[in-house]
């Protein structure tokens, strides 16, 4: 059995320690994948943008035909309550989830009235932001017609996992994943930015990948600091010739790319600026 880091889960009005068993073989989410989640962070006594993560969770539920049974303020309040169960020394991952328990009128459809909610918090140290290597993935992001790309849904992640697994088999930490028409969408686990000639670029939202909350926050912070940020369609060749590349995501926040294929890169000024601006923003957010 795995050894889990310290974990607390809120379910049906009580807090449970560890990794409690929750679903069975008849649970719709277990065999049909009807689950959505979101991920936030607690670090240095702060929990930035938890309200935005909670709101996106509720939107994701609707996209999968589930019923959002918790209000945003309720989820935020529970996250604060759960965070206080830890000693505050180690960063936490905060994962609210909905899942379908029972079949609906068809075994394929979940019964929205069977939707269940949980909130799981566990110790997960922040990445050091030191850098990662990337290559081009042979796998692609689906379109909205092919998958629920407007949700942060568990059923989307096996595709991310096979892209990441294949990249790592070739000696890279991560990979850039294209959409179906050949534009760069994101990495296998985060949103992506590049800089060229003093301008920061990031792929335009086109429905094939989520508008990451850390991505949106980073864009806003950079613009407020006077940096020109352009959202546009980008090809892999744009990244191959970029002055610098960095990614944003909830798990590690801002991470520079230090190698793309066989080309070495240095962490650049925009990645450092984005890191600093984000951490200053987080430090100024409301304490847990």
Whether the predicted pLDDT of 128 surpasses 90: no
**Residue 116 · residue 99 · CB < 8 Å:** yes
Task: State how many domains the chain has.
Answer: 2
Structural domain contains residue 2: no
Query: Is the domain of 52 the same as that of 169?
Result: no
d(CA 244, CA 202): 12
Structural domain contains residue 156: yes
Residue 2 confidence (pLDDT): 82
The predicted model gives 123-151 an average pLDDT of 94
Query: Is the domain of 147 the same as that of 272?
Result: yes
Structural domain contains residue 195: yes
Structure letter (DSSP) for residue 109: S
The predicted model gives 74-97 an average pLDDT of 97
The predicted model gives 262-285 an average pLDDT of 97
The predicted model gives 48-58 an average pLDDT of 98
Residue 130 confidence (pLDDT): 82
d(CA 156, CA 263): 30
Query: Is the domain of 145 the same as that of 266?
Result: yes
Predicted TM-score (pTM) above 0.85: yes
Query: Is the domain of 116 the same as that of 143?
Result: no
Structural domain contains residue 176: yes
Q: Which of 93, 123, 153 is the last residue of a domain?
A: 123
Mean pLDDT of the chain: 96
Residue 1 confidence (pLDDT): 67
Residue 118 confidence (pLDDT): 98
Query: Is the domain of 107 the same as that of 136?
Result: no
Structural domain contains residue 86: yes
d(CA 185, CA 242): 16
The predicted model gives 44-52 an average pLDDT of 97
The predicted model gives 89-98 an average pLDDT of 97
d(CA 78, CA 82): 6
Query: Is the domain of 161 the same as that of 243?
Result: yes
Structural domain contains residue 43: yes
**pLDDT grade for 281, boundaries at 50, 70 and 90:** very high
Query: Is the domain of 113 the same as that of 177?
Result: no
d(CA 197, CA 178): 24
Structural domain contains residue 208: yes
Strands 132-140 and 263-264: unpaired
Query: Is the domain of 108 the same as that of 226?
Result: no
- The CATH number of whichever domain residue 195 belongs to comes to 3.20.10.10
Query: Is the domain of 136 the same as that of 274?
Result: yes
- Domain assignment of residue 174, given as a range: 132-284
Structural domain contains residue 1: no
Q: φ and ψ at 132, to 5 degrees?
A: -150, 160
**Cα distance from N-terminal residue to C-terminal residue, the chain:** 32
Residue 182 confidence (pLDDT): 98
Maximum Cα–Cα distance for the chain, whole Å?
A: 56
Q: How many CA atoms lie within 13 A of 285 on its CB side?
A: 19
Query: Is the domain of 151 the same as that of 191?
Result: yes
Query: Is the domain of 33 the same as that of 163?
Result: no
> Coil, strand, or helix at residue 245?
strand
The predicted model gives 187-215 an average pLDDT of 97
Whether the predicted pLDDT of 100 surpasses 90: yes
Q: Which of 89, 123, 157 is the last residue of a domain?
A: 123
Query: Is the domain of 150 the same as that of 269?
Result: yes
d(CA 162, CA 138): 10
**Residue 176 · residue 125 · CB < 8 Å:** no
The predicted model gives 83-92 an average pLDDT of 96
d(CA 66, CA 111): 7
- The CATH number of whichever domain residue 91 belongs to comes to 3.30.470.10
**Residue 211 · residue 248 · CB < 8 Å:** no
Tell me which residue of 111, 86, 85, 81 sits closest to 98, measured CA to CA. 111
């Amino acid at each position: 059995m795995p050894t889990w880091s310290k974990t607390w889960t809120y379910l049906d009005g009580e807090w449970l320690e560890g990794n409690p068993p929750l679903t069975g073989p008849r649970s719709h989410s277990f065999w049909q994948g009807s689950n959505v989640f979101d991920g936030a962070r607690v670090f240095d006594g702060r929990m930035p943008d938890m309200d935005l993560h909670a709101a996106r969770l509720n939107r994701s539920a609707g996209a999968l035909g589930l019923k959002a049974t918790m209000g945003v303020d309720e989820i935020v309040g529970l996250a604060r309550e759960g965070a206080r169960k830890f000693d505050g020394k180690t960063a936490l991952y905060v994962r609210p989830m909905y899942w379908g328990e029972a079949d609906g009128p068809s075994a394929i459809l979940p019964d929205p009235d069977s939707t269940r909610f949980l909130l799981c918090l566990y110790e997960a140290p922040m990445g050091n932001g030191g850098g990662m290597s990337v290559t081009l993935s042979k796998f692609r992001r689906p379109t909205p017609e092919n998958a629920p790309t407007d949700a942060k849904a568990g059923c989307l992640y096996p595709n991310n996992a096979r892209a990441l697994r294949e990249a790592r088999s070739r000696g890279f930490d991560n990979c850039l994943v294209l959409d179906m028409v050949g534009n760069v969408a994101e990495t296998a686990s985060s949103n992506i930015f590049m800089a060229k000639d003093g301008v920061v670029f990031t792929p335009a939202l086109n429905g094939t990948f989520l508008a990451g909350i850390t991505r949106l926050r980073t864009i806003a912070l950079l613009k407020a600091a006077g940096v020109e940020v352009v959202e546009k369609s980008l090809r892999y060749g744009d990244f191959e010739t970029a002055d610098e590349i960095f990614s944003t995501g909830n798990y590690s926040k801002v991470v520079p790319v230090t190698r793309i294929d066989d080309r070495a890169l240095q962490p650049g000024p925009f990645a450092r600026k984005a890191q600093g601006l984000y951490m200053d923003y987080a430090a100024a957010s409301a304490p847990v």
